[in-house]
């Protein structure tokens, strides 16, 4: 009897040890152990940074003062050898005071213009900026109309009175006249500051 109980005790102990070694019973119906899953959620895709917009160079053309007789505008003065992209030295206010067509005798010469006629253009200039600036018309004024491309208009003739071609300190002004050679009545007279290909100001001439 004692031998039988000892055998049963050993058998029960061995069976319990076997179960412990095999581990817990599978939960799934097909007898396979459940697959381990990661509890970490997939990382959210970081939104791509919006591309920074680099400042594009201004496409705006330089502003040109277009004047009829009696009108006033402003233009930027530049160094004599400076192009359109250079910084302005100062700002001028310009008024187209008057324009009249003249004979050679009226401008003190016996020489007839190469083509067209002489024009006496009266301007009033004032330096309204913070630095000294220069107005220099020789070689920097042109005339054109709808049928004729731009032609050099400056001459060496003088209409008398104050000279516009000079250096202006801030606040200084001059009203004077230029004698120009134009191809005909009407059209446009342009002034170019420095070496810019864009006129600083344009005066629309009367047809009579």
- Report the half-sphere exposure of 81 (CA within 13 A, side-chain side): 0
Domain residue spans of the chain: 65-204
Distance, CA of 91 to CA of 99 (rounded, Å): 24
pLDDT at 78: 74
Architecture of domain 65-204: Sandwich (2.60)
The encoded tokens of residue 11 equal 């058998």
pLDDT band of residue 86 (cuts 50, 70, 90) is low
Q: Write the pLDDT tens digit of every residue in 20-77.
A: 444 454 444 444 444 544 444 444 444 454 444 444 444 455 578 899 999 999 999 8
pLDDT at 74: 95
Distance, CA of 201 to CA of 114 (rounded, Å): 25
Cα Rg of the chain, angstroms:
46
Q: Write the pLDDT tens digit of every residue in 169-208.
A: 999 999 999 999 999 999 999 999 888 889 999 999 999 8
User: In which order are the strands placed within the sheet that holds 117-127?
Assistant: 72-77, 90-102, 117-127, 173-182
Altogether, the residues listed in the chain come to a count of: 208
């Amino acid at each position: 009897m004692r031998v039988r109980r000892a055998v049963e005790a050993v058998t029960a102990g061995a069976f319990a040890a076997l179960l412990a070694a095999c581990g817990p019973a599978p939960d799934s119906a097909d007898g396979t152990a459940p697959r381990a899953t990661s509890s970490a959620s997939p990382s959210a895709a970081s939104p791509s940074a919006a591309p920074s917009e680099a400042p594009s160079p201004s496409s705006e053309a330089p502003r040109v003062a277009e004047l009829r007789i009696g009108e006033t505008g402003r233009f930027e003065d530049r160094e004599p050898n400076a192009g359109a992209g250079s910084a302005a030295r100062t700002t001028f206010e310009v008024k187209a005071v008057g324009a009249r067509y003249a004979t050679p005798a009226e401008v003190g010469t016996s020489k007839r213009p190469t083509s067209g006629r002489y024009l006496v253009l009266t301007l009033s200039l004032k330096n309204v900026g913070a630095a000294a600036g220069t107005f220099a018309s020789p070689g920097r004024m042109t005339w054109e109309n709808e049928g004729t491309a731009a032609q050099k208009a400056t001459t060496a003739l003088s209409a008398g009175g104050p000279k516009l071609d000079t250096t202006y300190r801030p606040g200084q002004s001059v009203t004077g006249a230029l004698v120009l050679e134009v191809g005909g009545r009407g059209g446009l007279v342009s002034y170019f500051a420095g070496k810019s290909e864009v006129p600083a100001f344009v005066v629309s001439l009367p047809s009579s």
